[in-house]
Structure 1
Amino acid sequence: MTERDKFNGSMCEVIVEVLPNINMCNMFISLPQELSSYQTVSVSKSECTLHFSCGTELFLKLPRGVCLIPDAVISVKQDENILTARLQMDERTSVISALSGDILNDMLTCEEASPALSLADTQLWAQCKQCKSEVIGKVKFRRVLPLPSVDWDQASEGWFCHLHETDGQKLKPQALLPAKDECFFTELFFLLHSDLVESFMEDEQSGNSILCPRCRLPLGAKGNQSSLKLWTHSVNWLGECGTVHYKRNVNEMLLSLLHNIDKDNFGVNCRLVLQTQTAPRQHLYLVTMNTNQKLLVSEDSCFLSNTAVHKSGYCYEVKNDPVPEKRVCTREIKMNLVSLYAVKLMYEVKEGEDEQTGSWVDDANVHIIPCSVPMLQEVRTLLETSNCYLPDNMKVVDNLSVGFIIKNSPVLSCNR
């Protein structure tokens, strides 16, 4: 008698970069130890098949809107467990990819959640996102308004560089100080009156940072005079019945930040530095390479889950053998690929101040963004997870690491 069982090892991880400008795609496949070296690669319009010396065949089913030119395999190379292939795409795929990316960008812009719509003229309270303890008691904001940009106060320092110091100080606008019933906001923080926060602890490493008194999660930073920055990443805003009115995850916040900065860059790559207020300061330098990168990934990809370790979809046949552990791999493995759009960028992490971090601060084209330690760490984890299946020679460009921030989360269908 035979029965089907699932192998509990790691599965193939497939990442395909669609390059519409040259009608090509780069395919990177991370192979498990159970698969030996490949023999041939065959391509049809909607499928790529890899034949391995162990007798296994891996079928990669492409999503709608992606068409390959049959048998147009430009190159194939295997380096240990990473197989890299360059395939030629039908030119119609380039047009579809460009249109789909533009539509997605428009949708993200229209659907972007705004605190102005969620927090104004309603009874609210804020809770620590980690321990759920109350941070701000019942409050009703009369006005909820956006600040010019997340780094507007730093950027304004250069508005008066042509004046003498004393004259410049006279002309500078007064710091924005919200009243108790006002809330100013950016992508990364809320600017509030400090009296709204009932209790907090000061961070011993930085007198400017404040912590949740219960779990010590960084909640924000003290601002000028009576103002307070409350990190969007650290709190949830709830209504009277406990329903969530507004919350944001790091992926959404970073996409919104990149999108708004990119609008003012006139085609120049967006460059920013996430900077913590702790001592020593931590820096995460980011520069965009492609703000509309189309990727094809497997349905079980690390891009679509919180972990990078997955159960395999491979079917193994258990024969009627005296030793039950002995298994023979079936001949076919089928994987469905789905389309994602992402921001492809380069990044670098540094701790402490040095000549390089000083050059970032002095560069007018680099946006210095204050953030919490948890946010910087979570963004770093997102980027490191996204490139873990790229070959080593693709993980670094110009001495900077390569990563992706995913823009859309498709509804997956299992057709296996």
Structure 2
Amino acid sequence: MDKNIYKTVILEIRPRLQSVNVVINLISPIEVSKISLNEDNFQIIVDEHVHTVCCKNLKIVVNSLSSLIVTQTYISFRFATVNSSDDWGSFKTEVLRTVGSNVHTNLENIFLNVSMEYVIQCKNCSHNLSENVKFERILPLPSENSDSSDWFCHSHGSSNVAVLNPKESDVFYGSCYCHLSKQLVHNVLETEKLVVCKRCLSWLGLLKNSETFKFWFNTVAFKDETMVHSTSPLSDTLIALREILNSILFNTAKIVLCCQSGKKQNDYILLWILEKQLNVQLGVKDYKVAKVLFKYENNKNETVKKWMEDSNVVSVDISKPMTVEILKHLYKFNKIFPQEFSESNNFFISYLMMYEHEK
């Protein structure tokens, strides 16, 4: 297809349904004479001009065009495909796959080592937040959504609630964050629960309790003799989301991403996962994505309260940089849709490139 007549071409491919939904976002209005399907492409005929869109790795049923809509801003339609029985089975048999078994997480690839000496730094200004420290214990934390009273085989205290407070020589870590002893950390300012860098005032983390700081690997860095270790806010967010979805049996889910970004400021991103693994073709590239509805709220309004009170909704704390980067990511892929396809029920539609190595 001639690139000067469209902004984006989106193919949502659903092999199990043997169906492909096509949405073409037009640059300007055109008079479409005909849509023609071929085995490996489709053609848009405008007057006497033929614009061809290749559909790689698809075998199209040529007489299956349906749900055709042509407007001044977009074209949408659906067609059927024929799957290879080797890949997906047939209507009589189905090939089953283990989903997500080869997904690596930060819990499996923690960069800290008990034999190494580190200095903790502010990632933004590289100001030292600790003296040299050699950690004696580097231990993974249970999921944030688990009950802390289940972390131990017996009660630790009269309240029957177990609390994990690291010592100065400990670091306890999750998929994208860590817990550190307050006694270890210097050159920070505490304002209520917020912790910021004393030099540049960058957001670093939260006061977990009276003895423990919670920092994210994308807000602080761990410097050893040879290099500085830190992570990407967007990658950390996608890893955290992927871990949640890998633990859920269903194809859909509701997740609230929470961030206390200021003394009286809380940010919430409501994510409604419509399809946790969807094959899409954007232009000539193939991706595996999660299709989502999302909404950003900067206060705990009735919608946020309703979501957070729902026992089926997963709530996750993220850092301020993670909030900024995941919103950029969501709005970026929302813009590829025509206006008519970009919103639903006061939520925005988008893709999460959760299975790509995007930064």
Fold equivalence (TM over 0.5): yes
Q: State the one-letter code of the partner of 1:197.
A: V
2: CA distance, partners of 1:178 / 1:29: 54
Q: Which of 53, 57, 61 lines up with 2:54 in the alignment? A: 61
Q: Which of 172, 179, 182 lines up with 1:191 in the alignment? A: 179
Q: Which of 4, 8, 16 lines up with 1:21 in the alignment? A: 16
1: CA distance, partners of 2:119 / 2:49: 58
1:82 and 2:67 matched? no
CA contact under 8 A between 1:101 and 1:341: conserved in structure 2?
Answer: no
CA contact under 8 A between 1:261 and 1:270: conserved in structure 2?
Answer: no
CA change 1:123–1:362 in 2 (3 A) is same
Superposed displacement of residue 263, structure 1: 4.3
CA change 1:129–1:89 in 2 (3 A) is farther
Q: State the one-letter code of the partner of 1:247.
A: T
1:261 and 2:244 matched? yes
Q: Deviations over 1:134-162 (max 9, x none)?
A: 4445332222222111344xx558x8xxx
Q: Cα RMSD between the aligned structures?
A: 3.4
2: CA distance, partners of 1:276 / 1:266: 27
Superposed displacement of residue 342, structure 1: 0.7
CA contact under 8 A between 1:237 and 1:247: conserved in structure 2?
Answer: no
Matches within 5 A, 1:14-53: 14-33=9-28, 36-53=30-47
Superposed displacement of residue 211, structure 1: 1.7
Q: Deviations over 1:106-156 (max 9, x none)?
A: 33x2x333376420222233443334444445332222222111344xx55
Q: Which of 319, 339, 342 lines up with 1:395 in the alignment? A: 342
CA contact under 8 A between 1:180 and 1:195: conserved in structure 2?
Answer: yes
Matches within 5 A, 1:202-351: 202-203=190-191, 207-242=192-227, 244-250=228-234, 252-267=235-250, 269-277=252-260, 278=262, 279-298=264-283, 337-351=284-298
1: CA distance, partners of 2:82 / 2:39: 8
Secondary structure, aligned partner of 1:91 = coil
Secondary structure, aligned partner of 1:12 = strand
CA change 1:187–1:410 in 2 (3 A) is closer
Aligned sequence identity (%): 19
CA contact under 8 A between 2:119 and 2:131: conserved in structure 1?
Answer: yes
Superposed displacement of residue 363, structure 1: 2.2
**Other-structure match for 1:385:** 332
Structure 2: tracts of 5 or more residues without a match: none
CA contact under 8 A between 2:237 and 2:322: conserved in structure 1?
Answer: no
CA contact under 8 A between 1:285 and 1:348: conserved in structure 2?
Answer: yes
Secondary structure, aligned partner of 1:375 = helix
Secondary structure, aligned partner of 2:65 = strand
Superposed displacement of residue 248, structure 1: 3.5
2: CA distance, partners of 1:183 / 1:404: 34
1: CA distance, partners of 2:336 / 2:327: 16
CA change 1:370–1:407 in 2 (3 A) is closer
Superposed displacement of residue 100, structure 1: 11
TM-score for the superposition, normalised by structure 1: 0.73
CA contact under 8 A between 2:237 and 2:318: conserved in structure 1?
Answer: no
**Other-structure match for 2:113:** 120
Size of the aligned set, in residue pairs, is 347
CA contact under 8 A between 2:12 and 2:20: conserved in structure 1?
Answer: yes
Higher RCO (CA 8 Å, separation ≥ 6 residues): 1
TM-score for the superposition, normalised by structure 2: 0.83
CA change 1:173–1:11 in 2 (3 A) is same
Q: Which of 121, 130, 146 lines up with 2:140 in the alignment? A: 146
CA change 1:385–1:102 in 2 (3 A) is farther
CA change 1:354–1:56 in 2 (3 A) is same
CA contact under 8 A between 1:41 and 1:49: conserved in structure 2?
Answer: yes
**Other-structure match for 1:329:** none
Q: Which of 86, 101, 108 lines up with 1:106 in the alignment? A: 101
Structure 1: tracts of 5 or more residues without a match: 1-6, 160-166, 299-336, 412-416
Q: State the one-letter code of the partner of 2:59.
A: C
- Structure 1 range deviating more: 87-96 or 224-233: 87-96
CA contact under 8 A between 1:347 and 1:403: conserved in structure 2?
Answer: yes
